[in-house]
Amino acid sequence: MAAIAVLPGYRMEVEFRDGTRGVADFSTVVRSPKNGIFAALANPEFFARATVECGAITWPNGADMDPAWMHESILASGEWSVPD
């Protein structure tokens, strides 16, 4: 992961080091009753505090997302989301 830009609706525009670009949709994670460490992302200000660390999207509470899983999906379809 090289860069991210927060979009409305708990989404992000992401760009990987190889130039692959797309949209990552985190809305299912935010709405899930079993979201655990990701519960904090429901606060839009907290969600917007995402950064890229060691190639992964991370938040100040330690939540992060696997960039390989995201890259595969974005490479295939231009978007990624966590299944319901």
Is 84 a residue whose pLDDT tops 90? no
The model's confidence at residue 62, banded by pLDDT at 50, 70 and 90, is: very high
**CB-based contacts of 41, cutoff 8 Å, min separation 6:** 10, 26, 29, 30, 35, 47, 59, 63
Domain CATH number, residue 40: 3.30.2020.10
Domain count, the chain: 1
pLDDT at res. 1: 86
The reported pTM is 0.90
pLDDT at res. 83: 77
In what order do the strands lie in the sheet containing 3-7?
Answer: 3-7, 11-15, 21-25, 79-81
pLDDT at res. 39: 94
Range of the domain at 12: 3-81
The model's confidence at residue 44, banded by pLDDT at 50, 70 and 90, is: very high
